[in-house]
Chain A
């Protein structure tokens, strides 16, 4: 009985989250698509023609997996950050806190909204890339698995940002100054093995490098290491971040007096 009630509550939360970002879909979904098209036209074709191939594929094809996973991660992250911060700011987080919902369900509801937006943005980016690239699907399980777990990881990280943000400025700081640089330095535009030291060694410490490489393997069948390693590293990180988010929400940090 309680399980069914939790199911209805979860459904209600997810519908609310999806409606929230679809109400402003131009603002929420289109920027990733526009950015990708610009990257593919300028770097993929105009500059890429001069660069030739990377690991045996056209440059546009080489950068596409990174652009897709960038869209997945940043959309999942910013969706939950803004949704959670907005709920705190306007106090409608109280709708959830006074209801008979355990903390893990509240975390799951917000995170799922972020995952859906992340995957939707990734799918749109892949779709608009078709005319510009030779889009392949080398390993379905690797592609979907890494996309899903990356979206979940970033959605949960976004919740932590939303929990601690004190102003709207704080909701974009981490995405702009931490996540995007880490993805760019994680081999999105070039093979990490071509980087000089110490950048090559530093890239090995960048968790987003594994995400980009794993996803690139899923789509193109090329990568520095086994995709399963990437997958389990991401699953482990997601469980840790999810555990932290659950603990903070259960303790009422920043949401209860």
Chain B
């Protein structure tokens, strides 16, 4: 049986001062997956990436990447990983090409191969024409793409991306998505942390939600979304409405004369909703989710956890 690309077993990390980074986390990401890691600020996402890359040291537990233990076989484990950190962490005074070529050398590529690969990855991320330019002059989005190029230069089997599209414009974000999809299709396992939930929903085939260092939900993306208790729909009406209709078992709010918000419970079909609204003469011109579905799931799980903690505390 093939070893999972990433495997964490009972991993715990507590920082100086007592802040919990991770609390006994078990997680497996099979090879070839596009895995999303979500959570509010301070949930432990960056800690988890740091533990995989050895930038953060675990208090206990075992961490394996490509089957290698990151504590005892760090060189082998790191050789199969590419890392795109959350913060810009290259020397901005250096030219773009030198930054990528140096990283290729650190991964053991010969100077000739390093130059070739640098050209290829800069082409892939759309920075080929900036090769000789100082990184100082790049825009925020370009700097992000440079970090992706740097992480890809040694053809990693596992790519760790910690909020790779933060601050990237819409076009740049979609270009990055296409690149990541292509890499994943080529067999690269990707672990992505992001605050853009639509990004996770669009890219990831499986997900975990972290909160206060613990995993509060995990599974296939579709399966998790199917388990959403309630989704809020925004209905744009064909004709103005003076009073809010009342339907048994449904929470309906009138935003204005032309707009309604309805919390649709799990299991209820939209067709059935339209039929019931039709009885009251309400005609719907347009429909959208108030929140991204993943955002709803995310908020639901965080709220469930908060109320569970409150219950345990009383």
Interface segment, one of B103-111, B166-174, B238-246, B285-293: B103-111
What number of B residues sit within 8 Å (CB to CB) of A?
37
Q: Are A98 and B53 in contact (CB under 8 A)?
A: yes
Q: When the two chains form their complex, are residues A97 and B54 in contact, meaning their CB atoms are under 8 A apart?
A: yes
Chain A contacts for B106, CB-based, 8 A: 9, 12-13, 95-96, 99-101
> Per-residue 0/1 for A1-44: is the Cβ within 8 Å of any B Cβ (1 yes, 0 no)?
01011101101110110011001000000000000000000000
Given A90-B89, A252-B57, A256-B55, CB of A100 within 8 Å of CB of B78: yes
List CB contacts (< 8 Å) of B75-110 with chain A: 75-76, 78-79, 81, 83, 85, 87-94, 98, 101-110
User: Contact between B91 and A92 (Cβ–Cβ < 8 Å)?
Assistant: yes
Q: Complex Cα distance A46/B103, Å? A: 52
Q: Which residues of B contact A95 (CB under 8 A)?
A: 89-90, 102-103, 106, 150
Contact check, A15 vs B102: say whether CB atoms are below 8 A apart: yes
Across the interface, name the chain B residue whose C-beta is closest to A251: B57
In the complex, what distance in Å separates the CA atom of A13 from the CA atom of B114? 13
- Cβ A99 vs Cβ B107 within 8 A: yes
Does A193 reach chain B (CB closer than 8 Å)?
A: no
> What residues of A have a CB within 8 angstroms of the CB of B54 in the complex?
97-98, 252, 256
Q: Dominant SS at the A interface?
A: helix
Q: Which residue of B lies closest to A94 (CB)?
A: B89
Q: A99's closest neighbor in chain B, by CB?
A: B106
Closest Cβ–Cβ distance, residue B65 to chain A (whole Å)? 11
Whether A100 touches B75, Cβ cut-off 8 Å, given contacts A9-B108, A23-B93, A257-B50, is yes
Complex CA–CA separation, A11 to B148 (angstroms): 23
B95 smallest CB distance to A (angstroms): 9
A80–B56 Cα distance when bound, in Å, is 24
Complex Cα distance A13/B105, Å? 8
Cβ contact within 8 Å between B15 and A11: no
Q: Are B108 and A16 interface neighbours, CB within 8 A?
A: no
A8 in contact with B75 (CB, 8 Å) = no
CA distance A87 to B106 in the complex (A): 15
Cα separation A98 to B111 with both chains bound (whole Å): 20
Proximity string of chain A (238-257) to chain B, C-beta cutoff 8 Å, 1 when within and 0 when not: 00000000000000100011
A257 and B56 in contact, given A91-B89, A95-B90 (Cβ under 8 angstroms): yes
17 residue pairs bridging A and B, Cβ less than 8 Å apart: A2-B108, A4-B108, A9-B106, A11-B111, A91-B88, A91-B89, A92-B89, A92-B90, A94-B55, A97-B55, A100-B74, A100-B76, A100-B78, A100-B79, A257-B50, A257-B55, A257-B56
A interface list, Cβ under 8 A from B: 2, 4-6, 8-9, 11-13, 15-16, 19-20, 23, 86-87, 90-92, 94-102, 252, 256-257
Q: Beyond the given A8-B111, A257-B55, could you list 11 further A-B residue pairs with CB under 8 A, ordered by the A residue number? A: A6-B108, A8-B114, A11-B111, A12-B102, A16-B98, A90-B89, A91-B87, A97-B54, A98-B78, A100-B108, A257-B56
